[in-house]
Each structure stands twice: as structure tokens, then as C-alpha cells.
Structure 1
Amino acid sequence: MLALANVADVLGLPIRGTAALSPFGLISRIEEGLPFATLERVSQFVSPNDSQFKYRLVPKATYDRRKKGQLRLSSEEGTRVARVARVWNLALEVWQREDEARDFLFRSHAMLEDKRPIDVVIQNEFGAEMVLDILASLKYGSAA
């Protein structure tokens, strides 16, 4: 299950009223354009020692344009960042420690054809669902 308050926290979004705690409230905020700082925040959580990680979520040229002018992410960029935040949140819940959650995300996994979970998550929503399924299996005691 999606822990909306936790995902909103990872994204750095203040909880404003009960609408923010609903899936549609979060969807609306992503579609309106997440703050540019959200990209930096999620990148720091997921890969604090890799200053280039954010460019996997938003290409460098686009990043530079966003940083100079428009201080909001597009809906597509926000969706990608929120997808990573959602997976990060569950990985942290499963592993309980940031370093172990990162280790899981950045190490190849047999159930993903030896691809790294973070790569599969960034690629598309279907990939994120596969990683979330693995994490849910780990959380609830199944083999993964």
C-alpha cells in the first residue's frame, strides 16, 4: 500500500489538509508541477554520493533550464521523481537503514534479469511495480 504521508515527506511536500493525504491530492500536486527542490531532495536521499544521479531523472540540459527559470518540474519529470520516492520509501521501510536500502536499489537482482532495481524504476512505471512487488515480498516474508 502506498504510504502517502511518507512519500510526500520524501518529496518534501508539506501536508496541507486531508486532500494532500489522498492519492488524488498527490496526483494533483505532481500534475501542477513539483517544486524543483524536490528533485534535489530525492536525489540526496537515494544517492547522496552521486552528484550526477539527478540527471537520470531530469536530463542535464533540462535541469539547467529548470534551475535558471521555471522552478517547477513538468508532470512527466515529477512523476518520475515521485516514482523513485515511492520505491525509496518502501525500500527504507523494508531494510530499516538507508545504506541497506541503497544497497538493494543499486545492486543487480536476479528477479529483474540481473538489472539494478533503481534502473528498472527510472525506466518506467511497470518497472517500478516489479521492484515494489519484490520489496513487498521481502516485507511480508516471501522469497525475493
Structure 2
Amino acid sequence: MSPPSTLLRLDEAMGPQASVKELVDLLGLKDGEAHGYSKIWLSEQIQDGLPFTAFERINTLVFAGQQDLARLVISPATRKRRRKDKKGLSAKSSQQLERIARVWIMAIDIYKDG
């Protein structure tokens, strides 16, 4: 089970603009629906380390392949190694990726409202 501080931060951060379903869909996590889009489940996924495919998805959709932005989450050497070894992200990189996804969702919502 994830530490309570992680759950509190995730809960505080998720306002009406960013639902668990939106985050799960943007990150490309496959089991979200099976777990009822639970905040606890998402928090556990982040603490365990998101799959590398979540980074690749954000890199394509949000960063548009801009390596300078992608480098903020994971260094090129680490990215190459994780892709080769088929390993997931660290908890720290997963938290950063989740925050970027949340900001992206809020930006899209603002753009729609404008």
C-alpha cells in the first residue's frame, strides 16, 4: 500500500480538471477501468513505477518528441537503457510524469473553455 502522503498529494492535486480516468487514459494505463479508476490504485501504480510506455505516450502527445522536455523526466541514457531492458520508470520519474499529465489535462480544459 502507498504511503498516506502520496495519496494526500494525489488527492489534493486532482481537482475537477483532472480525474483519475483522464490521467489513466492519458498515461495509457490498461487496467484503470478494471480497478474502477481508483485514486489508491493510481497512487500504487505511480509508487511502483509506471511502465515505460507511459513515458513514450507523454513524450509523443505532450512533448511532441522534444528531447529537451523529455530530458526533464528521464535522461537520454536512462531512457535508452530502460527501453532496451523493458523496465518501468522509477517512482520519482513516475510522479513527475503524472504531474505533467495533470497539467496537460488542465491546459486542454482551459483551451476548451476559452
Matches of 1:32 and 1:57 in 2, distance apart? 16
Matches of 1:49 and 1:69 in 2, distance apart? 21
Paired residues, number: 97
Find the counterpart in structure 2 of residue 68 from structure 1: 84
TM-score scaled by length of structure 1:
0.60
Bigger relative contact order, structure 1 or 2 (CA pairs below 8 A, ≥6 apart): 2
Matches of 1:70 and 1:7 in 2, distance apart? 22
Kindly indicate whether the alpha-carbon contact (under 8 Å) linking 1:12 and 1:38 is maintained by their aligned counterparts in 2.
yes
Kindly indicate whether the alpha-carbon contact (under 8 Å) linking 2:59 and 2:65 is maintained by their aligned counterparts in 1.
no
The CA deviation at 1:16 is 3.8
1:50 to 1:8, Cα distance in 2 relative to 1, 3 A: same
Select 1:32's aligned residue among 40, 45, 48. Answer: 48
Pairwise mapping of residues 86-125 of structure 1 onto structure 2 (< 5 A)?
86-96=102-112
Q: Which runs of 4+ in 1 moved over 6 A?
A: none
Select 1:78's aligned residue among 90, 94, 98. Answer: 94
Q: Is the partner of 2:71 in helix, strand or coil?
A: helix
The CA deviation at 1:47 is 2.1
Find the counterpart in structure 2 of residue 6 from structure 1: 22
Pairwise mapping of residues 50-61 of structure 1 onto structure 2 (< 5 A)?
50-61=66-77
Identity across the alignment (%): 28
5+ residue gaps, structure 1, are 97-138, 140-144
Look at both structures and tell me which one has the larger radius of gyration over its CA atoms: 1
Matches of 1:3 and 1:17 in 2, distance apart? 16
Q: Is 1:17 matched with 2:34?
A: yes
More helix by share: 1
TM-score scaled by length of structure 2:
0.74
Matches of 2:67 and 2:93 in 1, distance apart? 18
**What are the superposed Cα offsets for residues 59-118 of structure 1, whole Å, 9 maximum, x if unpaired?**
11211221121420011111111110011011111102xxxxxxxxxxxxxxxxxxxxxx
Structure 1: which amino acid aligns with 2:48?
E
